[in-house]
Chains A and B, each alone.
Chain A
Amino acid sequence: MAKDPRDADLLFHALADPSRRKLLDLLYVRDGRTLAELCEHVDMTRQGVTQHLDILEEATLVATVRRGREKLHYLNPIPLQDIYSRWIVKFERPRLKALDNLKRRLEERAHA
Protein backbone atom coordinates (compact mmCIF):
# COMPACT_ATOMS: atom_id res chain seq x y z
CA MET A 1 0.00 0.00 0.00
CA ALA A 2 1.56 3.24 -1.14
CA LYS A 3 -0.43 5.66 0.99
CA ASP A 4 -0.43 5.81 4.73
CA PRO A 5 -3.62 3.91 5.49
CA ARG A 6 -4.13 5.97 8.59
CA ASP A 7 -4.14 9.19 6.67
CA ALA A 8 -6.85 11.27 8.32
CA ASP A 9 -7.04 13.41 5.17
CA LEU A 10 -8.34 10.41 3.24
CA LEU A 11 -10.98 9.86 5.87
CA PHE A 12 -12.24 13.44 6.06
CA HIS A 13 -12.08 13.78 2.28
CA ALA A 14 -14.17 10.62 1.92
CA LEU A 15 -16.77 11.98 4.35
CA ALA A 16 -16.88 15.41 2.73
CA ASP A 17 -19.26 14.39 -0.04
CA PRO A 18 -23.04 13.97 0.19
CA SER A 19 -23.13 11.08 -2.31
CA ARG A 20 -20.57 9.12 -0.32
CA ARG A 21 -22.39 9.81 2.94
CA LYS A 22 -25.58 8.57 1.23
CA LEU A 23 -23.78 5.31 0.33
CA LEU A 24 -22.66 4.94 3.96
CA ASP A 25 -26.25 5.54 5.12
CA LEU A 26 -27.46 2.83 2.72
CA LEU A 27 -24.89 0.39 4.07
CA TYR A 28 -25.85 1.32 7.62
CA VAL A 29 -29.45 0.26 6.90
CA ARG A 30 -28.27 -3.00 5.38
CA ASP A 31 -24.72 -3.91 4.50
CA GLY A 32 -23.24 -6.78 2.53
CA ARG A 33 -24.64 -5.22 -0.66
CA THR A 34 -23.29 -5.54 -4.19
CA LEU A 35 -22.55 -2.62 -6.49
CA ALA A 36 -25.74 -3.35 -8.46
CA GLU A 37 -27.88 -3.28 -5.31
CA LEU A 38 -26.36 0.03 -4.24
CA CYS A 39 -26.92 1.52 -7.70
CA GLU A 40 -30.67 0.86 -7.39
CA HIS A 41 -30.93 3.31 -4.50
CA VAL A 42 -28.95 6.26 -5.78
CA ASP A 43 -29.32 8.63 -8.64
CA MET A 44 -25.82 8.10 -9.98
CA THR A 45 -24.20 6.23 -12.83
CA ARG A 46 -22.67 2.84 -12.09
CA GLN A 47 -19.28 4.35 -12.81
CA GLY A 48 -19.94 7.18 -10.36
CA VAL A 49 -20.94 4.78 -7.61
CA THR A 50 -17.82 2.66 -8.29
CA GLN A 51 -15.58 5.72 -7.94
CA HIS A 52 -17.24 6.78 -4.69
CA LEU A 53 -16.95 3.25 -3.29
CA ASP A 54 -13.24 3.18 -4.19
CA ILE A 55 -12.68 6.39 -2.22
CA LEU A 56 -14.67 5.02 0.73
CA GLU A 57 -12.70 1.78 0.63
CA GLU A 58 -9.37 3.60 0.47
CA ALA A 59 -10.41 5.51 3.60
CA THR A 60 -11.39 2.13 5.14
CA LEU A 61 -14.96 3.35 5.69
CA VAL A 62 -16.09 0.49 3.48
CA ALA A 63 -14.70 -3.05 3.63
CA THR A 64 -15.31 -5.53 0.84
CA VAL A 65 -15.54 -9.29 0.79
CA ARG A 66 -15.51 -11.44 -2.35
CA ARG A 67 -18.18 -14.07 -2.62
CA GLY A 68 -17.67 -15.97 -5.86
CA ARG A 69 -17.89 -13.36 -8.60
CA GLU A 70 -19.64 -10.85 -6.36
CA LYS A 71 -18.05 -8.19 -4.25
CA LEU A 72 -20.02 -7.40 -1.10
CA HIS A 73 -19.70 -4.01 0.59
CA TYR A 74 -19.74 -3.57 4.36
CA LEU A 75 -19.80 -0.41 6.43
CA ASN A 76 -16.64 -0.30 8.53
CA PRO A 77 -17.29 1.91 11.58
CA ILE A 78 -13.74 1.65 12.97
CA PRO A 79 -12.43 4.93 11.46
CA LEU A 80 -15.53 6.71 12.83
CA GLN A 81 -14.74 5.29 16.26
CA ASP A 82 -11.18 6.59 15.83
CA ILE A 83 -12.60 10.07 15.11
CA TYR A 84 -14.72 9.76 18.25
CA SER A 85 -11.70 8.73 20.33
CA ARG A 86 -9.39 11.31 18.78
CA TRP A 87 -11.68 14.32 18.45
CA ILE A 88 -14.61 13.93 20.80
CA VAL A 89 -13.74 12.04 23.98
CA LYS A 90 -10.89 14.27 25.06
CA PHE A 91 -12.91 17.44 24.53
CA GLU A 92 -15.94 16.00 26.25
CA ARG A 93 -14.13 14.73 29.31
CA PRO A 94 -13.29 18.12 30.94
CA ARG A 95 -16.90 19.23 30.50
CA LEU A 96 -18.26 16.05 32.04
CA LYS A 97 -15.77 16.46 34.86
CA ALA A 98 -16.91 20.07 35.42
CA LEU A 99 -20.56 19.00 35.55
CA ASP A 100 -19.67 16.24 37.95
CA ASN A 101 -17.83 18.69 40.25
CA LEU A 102 -20.74 21.12 40.14
CA LYS A 103 -23.22 18.41 41.03
CA ARG A 104 -21.05 17.27 43.91
CA ARG A 105 -20.62 20.80 45.29
CA LEU A 106 -24.33 21.55 45.08
CA GLU A 107 -25.17 18.28 46.79
CA GLU A 108 -22.60 18.86 49.49
CA ARG A 109 -24.12 22.28 50.15
CA ALA A 110 -27.60 20.77 50.26
CA HIS A 111 -26.44 18.35 52.93
CA ALA A 112 -24.50 20.93 54.95
Chain B
Amino acid sequence: MPRSTFVYVTYIRTTPERLWSALTDPEFQEQYWFGVRCESEWTPGSSWTMIHPDGHVSDTGEIIESDPPRRLVIRWRHQDQAELRAEGDALCTMELEPAGPAVKLTITHTIDREHSTVIKTVSSGWPSVLSNLKSLLETGSSILRAKDVK
Protein backbone atom coordinates (compact mmCIF):
# COMPACT_ATOMS: atom_id res chain seq x y z
CA MET B 1 0.00 0.00 0.00
CA PRO B 2 1.43 3.40 -0.89
CA ARG B 3 1.94 5.50 2.17
CA SER B 4 3.84 8.39 3.64
CA THR B 5 5.70 7.94 6.87
CA PHE B 6 8.22 9.68 9.00
CA VAL B 7 10.08 8.14 11.88
CA TYR B 8 11.72 10.31 14.51
CA VAL B 9 13.94 8.96 17.24
CA THR B 10 15.40 10.72 20.23
CA TYR B 11 17.12 9.51 23.38
CA ILE B 12 16.14 11.36 26.53
CA ARG B 13 17.83 10.92 29.89
CA THR B 14 14.77 10.29 32.00
CA THR B 15 12.52 7.42 33.03
CA PRO B 16 9.72 5.95 30.87
CA GLU B 17 7.22 7.07 33.53
CA ARG B 18 8.38 10.70 33.47
CA LEU B 19 8.46 10.74 29.67
CA TRP B 20 4.97 9.24 29.47
CA SER B 21 3.70 11.90 31.81
CA ALA B 22 5.42 14.63 29.75
CA LEU B 23 3.71 13.33 26.62
CA THR B 24 0.24 13.12 28.15
CA ASP B 25 0.05 16.01 30.63
CA PRO B 26 -1.35 19.17 28.95
CA GLU B 27 0.30 21.47 31.53
CA PHE B 28 3.68 19.90 30.80
CA GLN B 29 3.10 19.87 27.02
CA GLU B 30 2.54 23.62 26.95
CA GLN B 31 6.08 24.14 28.19
CA TYR B 32 7.78 22.35 25.28
CA TRP B 33 5.08 22.48 22.58
CA PHE B 34 5.04 26.28 22.19
CA GLY B 35 1.85 26.63 24.22
CA VAL B 36 -0.04 23.81 22.50
CA ARG B 37 -1.87 21.31 24.71
CA CYS B 38 -3.37 17.92 23.85
CA GLU B 39 -6.36 16.91 25.90
CA SER B 40 -7.53 13.33 26.25
CA GLU B 41 -8.34 10.65 28.82
CA TRP B 42 -5.46 8.74 27.16
CA THR B 43 -7.40 5.45 27.26
CA PRO B 44 -8.32 3.40 24.15
CA GLY B 45 -11.40 4.86 22.48
CA SER B 46 -11.18 8.25 24.20
CA SER B 47 -11.13 11.41 22.12
CA TRP B 48 -8.00 13.49 21.58
CA THR B 49 -7.87 17.23 20.87
CA MET B 50 -5.00 19.60 20.09
CA ILE B 51 -5.64 23.09 21.45
CA HIS B 52 -3.60 26.22 20.70
CA PRO B 53 -2.91 29.05 23.18
CA ASP B 54 -5.78 31.11 21.72
CA GLY B 55 -8.21 28.22 22.32
CA HIS B 56 -8.28 27.24 18.67
CA VAL B 57 -8.56 23.47 17.94
CA SER B 58 -6.36 22.44 14.98
CA ASP B 59 -6.40 18.66 15.18
CA THR B 60 -8.71 16.02 16.62
CA GLY B 61 -8.66 12.26 16.88
CA GLU B 62 -8.95 9.22 19.04
CA ILE B 63 -6.69 7.08 21.19
CA ILE B 64 -6.30 3.70 19.48
CA GLU B 65 -3.84 2.06 21.86
CA SER B 66 -2.57 3.09 25.25
CA ASP B 67 -0.07 1.00 27.17
CA PRO B 68 1.62 3.27 29.73
CA PRO B 69 4.54 3.85 29.84
CA ARG B 70 5.37 1.98 26.64
CA ARG B 71 3.13 2.65 23.67
CA LEU B 72 0.55 5.20 22.57
CA VAL B 73 -1.26 5.23 19.22
CA ILE B 74 -3.37 8.22 18.17
CA ARG B 75 -5.68 8.46 15.15
CA TRP B 76 -4.97 12.02 14.11
CA ARG B 77 -6.91 14.27 11.76
CA HIS B 78 -6.07 17.82 10.87
CA GLN B 79 -9.10 20.12 10.95
CA ASP B 80 -7.90 23.56 9.81
CA GLN B 81 -7.12 23.45 6.13
CA ALA B 82 -9.51 21.67 3.74
CA GLU B 83 -6.61 20.28 1.73
CA LEU B 84 -5.09 18.60 4.78
CA ARG B 85 -8.43 17.49 6.22
CA ALA B 86 -9.25 15.79 2.91
CA GLU B 87 -6.26 13.49 3.26
CA GLY B 88 -8.07 11.75 6.12
CA ASP B 89 -6.70 10.13 9.23
CA ALA B 90 -3.05 9.73 10.02
CA LEU B 91 -1.73 7.39 12.69
CA CYS B 92 0.79 8.64 15.21
CA THR B 93 2.60 5.97 17.23
CA MET B 94 4.81 6.83 20.19
CA GLU B 95 7.03 4.09 21.56
CA LEU B 96 9.11 4.38 24.72
CA GLU B 97 11.93 1.90 25.36
CA PRO B 98 14.48 1.99 28.18
CA ALA B 99 17.99 2.39 26.73
CA GLY B 100 20.63 2.39 29.45
CA PRO B 101 20.45 5.68 31.34
CA ALA B 102 17.99 7.06 28.83
CA VAL B 103 14.68 6.30 27.15
CA LYS B 104 14.47 5.83 23.40
CA LEU B 105 11.41 7.67 22.11
CA THR B 106 10.29 6.70 18.61
CA ILE B 107 7.53 8.69 16.94
CA THR B 108 6.08 7.33 13.73
CA HIS B 109 3.50 9.28 11.77
CA THR B 110 1.87 7.48 8.84
CA ILE B 111 -0.90 8.13 6.35
CA ASP B 112 -2.10 5.78 3.62
CA ARG B 113 -1.26 7.94 0.63
CA GLU B 114 1.82 8.92 -1.28
CA HIS B 115 3.30 12.45 -1.14
CA SER B 116 1.09 13.42 1.77
CA THR B 117 0.97 17.11 2.66
CA VAL B 118 -0.18 16.19 6.18
CA ILE B 119 2.98 14.18 6.77
CA LYS B 120 5.12 16.96 5.32
CA THR B 121 3.40 19.51 7.55
CA VAL B 122 3.50 17.60 10.84
CA SER B 123 7.02 16.37 10.23
CA SER B 124 8.32 19.94 10.07
CA GLY B 125 7.00 20.65 13.56
CA TRP B 126 8.23 17.61 15.46
CA PRO B 127 12.01 18.26 15.53
CA SER B 128 11.79 21.51 17.50
CA VAL B 129 9.08 20.08 19.79
CA LEU B 130 11.17 16.98 20.55
CA SER B 131 14.33 19.00 21.01
CA ASN B 132 12.51 21.19 23.52
CA LEU B 133 11.02 18.18 25.30
CA LYS B 134 14.45 16.59 25.63
CA SER B 135 15.95 19.78 26.97
CA LEU B 136 13.10 20.31 29.42
CA LEU B 137 13.30 16.78 30.84
CA GLU B 138 17.09 16.75 31.04
CA THR B 139 17.84 20.27 32.23
CA GLY B 140 14.53 21.60 33.48
CA SER B 141 14.28 24.33 30.86
CA SER B 142 13.34 24.42 27.21
CA ILE B 143 15.81 25.96 24.77
CA LEU B 144 13.64 27.23 21.97
CA ARG B 145 10.89 29.74 22.32
CA ALA B 146 8.14 30.10 19.74
CA LYS B 147 9.81 33.13 18.15
CA ASP B 148 13.08 31.24 17.59
CA VAL B 149 11.35 28.77 15.30
CA LYS B 150 10.95 29.80 11.73
Contacts and interface: CB of A to CB of B under 8 A. Distances in A.
A50 to B, nearest CB: 19
B134 interface: yes
Interface residues of B, number: 26
A85 B99 contact: no
B127 to A, nearest CB: 4
Contact of B108 (A65, A90, A93): A65
Main secondary structure of the interface of A (DSSP, over half): mixed
A79 B127 CA distance: 9
A42 interface: no
B143 A6 contact: no
A85 B7 contact: no
Contact of A63 (B8, B135, B148): B8
Interface in B79-122: 99-102, 104, 106, 108
Interface residues of A, number: 24
B102 A63 contact: no
Interface of B: 5-11, 13, 99-102, 104, 106, 108, 126-128, 130-132, 134-135, 143-144, 148
